[in-house]
Amino acid sequence: MTMTLATTSRPASRRSTKRTTATRGPGGSDIDVRLVARSIAQAALEVLAGTRPVLQLSRSLNEECYLSLQHRAALTRKHAVRTRGNSQPHRSPMVRSVRVCSISESICEASIVVAEEQRCRAVAMRLERLDGVWQVTALEIG
């Protein structure tokens, strides 16, 4: 089951082949976008597994992504109980790799591979820096 949470198209003028992952955050410290993407992907899959409340991602996801993840988590749990009698459909998600491509200084796209007990999943996200904080504006979980 593939999930599309939010999609946005970007104009050709915003595309770039520049590959940087560290950016200046508030106070001048370097923030590695790969670490941000990794933690958000891990947390999103834990939400789907039912081991983390979706509320913990409220600052990291824009409203559309947050509501879509919340809805999918409810559907996933409901389906798991109905088909397997198990309220935890996914267990032990672990991030295996993260790739980030900078679109601009304040926009990055990331692809993440996450391994679970029975399978591997792909997660794609678009992160935008708003007021010095990275926020996911598009999220797809395969």
Three-state secondary-structure class, residue 54: helix
Q: What is the pLDDT of residues 45-104, one digit of tens each?
A: 998 888 889 999 999 999 999 999 999 988 887 776 666 655 455 567 889 999 999 999
Widest CA span of the chain, in angstroms?
A: 50
* Strands, E assignment, 5-51: 22-24, 30-32
Residues 6+ apart with CB under 8 A from 113: 95, 96, 97, 120, 121, 122, 123
Domains, the chain: 3-9+18-141 (3.10.450)
State the amino acid at position 74 in one-letter form.
A
pLDDT at residue 140 tops 70 = yes
What's the CA gap between 13 and 1, in Å, rounded? 33
Q: What is the pLDDT of residues 3-57, one digit of tens each?
A: 444 444 444 444 444 444 454 444 433 468 999 999 999 999 998 888 889 999 9
